[in-house]
Amino acid sequence: MEIKEILPCIADPSKYRVIGKVDIENIAEIAPYLARILPNASYNAKDGWISFKKGQRIITIHSDRFVTMTMISSKEEALGILKEIEEKARTAWEKRDEIDISKPLQKTFIGALDVYKYLPKTNCRKCGEQTCMAFAVKLLNGEKDIKECKPLFEDKKFIGIRETLISLLLSAGYEIEL
Ligand code: SF4
């Protein structure tokens, strides 16, 4: 496993967004099994990634072995998570005959505050709402589309929170067309 990048976490400036890589060659093949043994995980079969919540952190495992992690306190913590993913991936592969991948995964519950954390928090009103919090509430109610937050898609500095928010919404069962 290795750490590729440590960046500021926009959701919490005291924490980091970390990009790492796991040493599991066939992670794409393992992913549907791994998603069943990771708590609160969602699996996107089309793009082959897994997303799961670990406390406040949102972790996404991509099919090219890259892993993005939000709200990380230290490099050691990130390495610990990568190690845990590698161990669970090996276990999932060894036990694949016992894991039923036809069962739908449980959806994660998310609230407006979870969504708000991964919005730009500028209250710029470009989405037609007075505040980012109002937008978060409407997004969860299905009255707004994530793409209506234009800064999230147009400003490169928001790429990290955008990816995380999309993972979070998908893990909660929201359908997103990008
Ligand atoms: S467009 Fe995005 S950043 Fe601006 S108020 Fe709406 S949710 Fe907040």
Q: Are residues 6 and 94 in the same domain?
A: yes
C-alpha torsion 168→169→175→177, nearest 10: -80
Which pLDDT belongs to residue 77? 95
Query: What DSSP line would sit under 86-122, residue for residue?
Result: HHHHHHHHHTGGG--TTSPPPPPP--HHHHHHTS---
pLDDT along the chain (178 residues), means of 10: 85 85 92 89 81 84 91 93 96 93 76 92 96 94 92 90 84 72
Report how far ligand 1's centroid is from the alpha carbon of 129 (Å): 7
Range of the domain at 78: 2-98
Report how far ligand 1's centroid is from the alpha carbon of 139 (Å): 11
Residues at CB less than 6 angstroms from ligand 1? 119-120, 122-127, 129, 132, 135, 149-152
Which pLDDT belongs to residue 124? 97
Which pLDDT belongs to residue 178? 63
Q: Are residues 117 and 77 in the same domain?
A: no
Domain boundary among 42, 69, 98: 98
Helices within 9-158 (DSSP H only): 27-37, 75-94, 112-117, 132-141, 150-154
Q: Are residues 28 and 83 in the same domain?
A: yes
Which pLDDT belongs to residue 171? 74
Which pLDDT belongs to residue 109? 76
> What span, in angstroms and rounded, lies between the C-alpha atoms of 81 and 111?
25
> What span, in angstroms and rounded, lies between the C-alpha atoms of 165 and 99?
29
Question: Does this model's pTM top 0.85?
Answer: no
Q: Are residues 135 and 68 in the same domain?
A: no
